Amino acid sequence: MSREARHDSVLRLAMPHGAGWGKAVAAGALSAVCAVALLAASGYLITRAAEHPPILYLTLVMVGVRAFALGRAALRYVDRLAGHDASFRQLAVVRTEMYRRLSSVAPAGLGSTGRGDLLTRLVTDTDRLQDLPIRVVGPLVSAGIVAVLSVVAVALVSVPAALVLLVALAVAALLGTVVTRSVQRRSDERTAAERGHVADLVLDTVRTLDVFAAYGTLDERLEHIGRLDARVTAAVRRRATVESLVGALVGLVGGGAVIGVLAVGAPAVVSGVLDGPLWALAVFVPLALFEVVGGVPLAVLTLRRVRAAADRVERVVPASVPDGIVPEPDEPADPDALVVDGPVAVSLREVSVRWPGATSDAVAGVTLDLRPGEVVVLEGPSGAGKTSLVDALVRFVDHRGSYTLDGVEAKDMHPDAVRARVGLIEQDPFVFDQSVRQNLLFARETATDDDLLAVLDRVGLGAWVARRGGLDAGVGERGVLVSGGQAHRLALARALLHAFPVLVLDEPTADIDPDLGDAVLRDLVGAARQDGRTVVIVSHVPVPAELVDRTLRMRDGRLATA
């Protein structure tokens, strides 16, 4: 799918439909028509009244002026109310669809997108999509309708004046296009990307504030963020300058149109061929028309920003799941398939994994059998393919070859059924900003307090929880009140409650002091072994030999016995 087609799918999703949006478009167009008609009728009324005709000759025009004035205000209100209502309702649909897409590709399909950048795309860039109907489509439709009607109305009074107006509209469109091209679309994309990068840095700084402060690099970090933020601010100011320049140029063209209509109509009025009040009507039309048309270049600039935002959103949450990423089925798994009794045998035959967009395999031809109850260490340098193999085991990424659980191909199973058998404790396990109890009940809602305390004892957290005041003790935002080892023990407690037959520990001691890491690892493996679980420890550092049954080494995506 081409780049334009990708973000066009997001733009189509952002456009509201139905009677509400239709009412907004109609009200906006009629409000613009009333604005032009109001000024034109006022000019006619003033010049006609200067001739001192009987009042009856002015009554109809006076009523029209009042009607146009009231209509302009009332219809503008309806336009804003209905347009924003339709846009906000559609924005809710967009957000829901974005999160649905995100759930289909996360976590493996997010690639290297940082959390701050992801947040910017899902909040700021997604919110910007609401500008499409309100500030792009609506103004363009209104301007187009009013421009056509205005040229026709002036042509009924004076064809030369209508030609002048038509030329002025063409010049305004040309100037607006030339100036807006000075702000390239890639500039908007670059600004949006830099804004996302700033959000990444801010989030990372807040999360690791103590580290920067401890090493005395906080001021340097803040200065770096300040420089990047200044670049974003400068880009926004440049864009605002261009918008102001475009508005000024369109205003000048509008003034030129008035002068042109005066020039071509004056001889006809002097000679008596053209009625004076009608000529005044034609002169006043460009004044009001270019107030409406002046929004067109700004709508074009806004469209570029919206398309840049749509492209950024589409890159991280595409409409279709990229090749290599396991999509989440729309239908839930059969509840019976999620119930697992006893151990599970895992078998891999010539399994290969390739990430979306990559030209080579991250995992190449891995053959492996995991026997129930054994502990296997998978070690190797960074980039060896360990994480890719783990992501294939839990069906985050797709694979080639054969991967079976108790003889059943994983591809033939619902992804949730695979994950009910193979559990993953990541290097940075997520801890909810809730109590210890809620963090455990997430794994099994029917567990009693006795069950929770028992599993905490098994992972070595029983005394710690008692000192903290029991199961209602909080753990802080993202587990700020617990250490890295305690977070891994808490994650293991969740895994034991969920009763995964196969448990994968991804770098369980990476953020823990080496001496404490061995103790944590012994408790993790010991607790998992009690129930005969298969344990796979992914590590780039040595694991005590007495804890494991086999050690495997990966290098360049291939597997060999260490």
Residue 326 counted as domain residue: no
Distance CA 211, CA 271 (A): 86
Query: Phi, psi at residue 353, to the nearest 5°?
Result: -135, 135
Least Cα distance to 301 among 167, 195, 191, 196 occurs for 191
Residue 327: predicted pLDDT: 78
Q: Which CATH number fits the domain that encloses residue 502? A: 3.40.50.300
306 and 399 inside one domain:
no
78 and 161 inside one domain:
yes
Cα-based distances in Å from 262 to 113, 254, 256, 453 = 59, 13, 10, 90
Query: Phi, psi at residue 530, to the nearest 5°?
Result: -55, -35
Residue 444: predicted pLDDT: 84
Q: What is the pLDDT of residues 187-201, one digit of tens each?
A: 666 777 777 778 778
Q: What is the pLDDT of residues 400-448, one digit of tens each?
A: 999 999 888 999 999 888 988 898 888 777 888 888 888 888 888 888 8
237 and 381 inside one domain:
no
Q: Check whether the bond before 544 is cis (ω within 30° of 0).
A: no
Distance CA 556, CA 361 (A): 9
The low-confidence residues of the chain, meaning pLDDT below 70, are 1-8, 104-117, 180-189, 318-321, 478-480, 509-517, 520, 524, 527, 530-531, 561-562
Asked if 138 and 79 count as a contact pair (C-beta separation under 8 A), the reply is yes
Residue 387 counted as domain residue: yes
Cα-based distances in Å from 418 to 110, 409, 452 = 21, 10, 25
CA dihedral 392, 395, 399, 403 (to 10 degrees): 80
Residue 327 counted as domain residue: no
Q: Residue 435: CB partners within 8 Å, gap ≥ 6?
A: 471, 472, 473, 474, 475
Residue 206 counted as domain residue: yes
408 and 535 inside one domain:
yes
Residue 324 counted as domain residue: no
157 and 192 inside one domain:
yes
Asked if 391 and 353 count as a contact pair (C-beta separation under 8 A), the reply is yes
196 and 89 inside one domain:
yes
Residue 85: predicted pLDDT: 92
Query: Phi, psi at residue 364, to the nearest 5°?
Result: -130, 110
* Long-range contacts formed by 134-140: CB under 8 A, 24+ apart: 134/83, 134/84, 134/87, 135/298, 135/299, 135/302, 136/299, 136/302, 136/303, 136/306, 137/15, 137/25, 138/24, 138/25, 138/28, 138/79, 138/83, 139/28, 139/295, 139/296, 139/298, 139/299, 140/296, 140/299
257 and 345 inside one domain:
no
Residue 335: predicted pLDDT: 81
What letter represents residue 382's amino acid?
S
Q: Residue 380: CB partners within 8 Å, gap ≥ 6?
A: 386, 540, 553, 554, 555
341 and 310 inside one domain:
no
Distance CA 205, CA 207 (A): 5
Distance CA 471, CA 334 (A): 32
Which residue, 316, 343, 364, sits at the end of a domain? 316
Residue 216 counted as domain residue: yes
278 and 409 inside one domain:
no
Q: Which CATH number fits the domain that encloses residue 207? A: 1.20.1560.10
Cβ-based burial of 112 (10 A; exposed 0-12, middle 13-18, buried ≥19): exposed
Residue 34: predicted pLDDT: 92
Residue 329 counted as domain residue: no
103 and 229 inside one domain:
yes
Which residue, 284, 316, 348, sits at the end of a domain? 316
- Number of structural domains (the chain) is 2
Query: Would the pTM count as exceeding 0.85?
Result: no
Angle CA 11–118–189, to nearest 5: 55
Distance CA 88, CA 96 (A): 12
311 and 339 inside one domain:
no
Residue 68 counted as domain residue: yes
Strand (E) or helix (H) holding 34: helix 19-49
Query: Phi, psi at residue 556, to the nearest 5°?
Result: 55, 35
Asked if 261 and 161 count as a contact pair (C-beta separation under 8 A), the reply is yes
Domain with 277 in it: 3-316
Strand (E) or helix (H) holding 553: strand 550-555
Asked if 422 and 500 count as a contact pair (C-beta separation under 8 A), the reply is yes
Which residue, 285, 316, 347, sits at the end of a domain? 316
228 and 107 inside one domain:
yes
Q: How many Cβ atoms sit within 10 Å of the Cβ of residue 16?
A: 25
Distance CA 167, CA 150 (A): 13
Residue 2: predicted pLDDT: 47
